[in-house]
Amino acid sequence: MYYSKRTLLIMFIIFIIIIVIGSVTVLGWIKRDSYRANNLICTTKSEAYIEPRKLYMDGGLVLDLKSGRITVHYDVTTDTKEKRLFFRDICISKL
């Protein structure tokens, strides 16, 4: 083998190694991002007024994909200022 061919071979091998290392790094980032999405905890707060029943509802909803739960919590106030609590804890299971 001449020196120029050996140099080209070494450069080609180094190029292949760089591509392999880059691919492994990118695949690691993709797996890490999907892992974070599977542990999502989403919360929301809302207020609602139901006109026909004269109910004022103030509360929130929590979606927790890590433990597989949905939690709904509302404080319900009637027109006569009577307060009640509405709470639901729902378990998410795979079909």
81 or 3: whose pLDDT is higher? 81
Q: What is the pLDDT of residues 28-80, one digit of tens each?
A: 776 665 555 566 677 788 888 888 888 888 888 888 877 788 888 888 988 88
86 or 41: whose pLDDT is higher? 86
For position 18, what pLDDT does the model report? 93
Measure the CA–CA gap between 72 and 42, rounded to whole angstroms. 12
For position 31, what pLDDT does the model report? 66
Does 13 score more than 60 pLDDT? yes
For position 33, what pLDDT does the model report? 56
Measure the CA–CA gap between 22 and 27, rounded to whole angstroms. 9
For residue 16, name the pLDDT band (cuts at 50, 70, 90): very high
Does 21 score more than 60 pLDDT? yes
Query: Burial letters for 1-22: b for 16+ Cβ neighbours within 10 Å, e otherwise?
Result: eeeeeeeeeeeeeeeeeeeeee
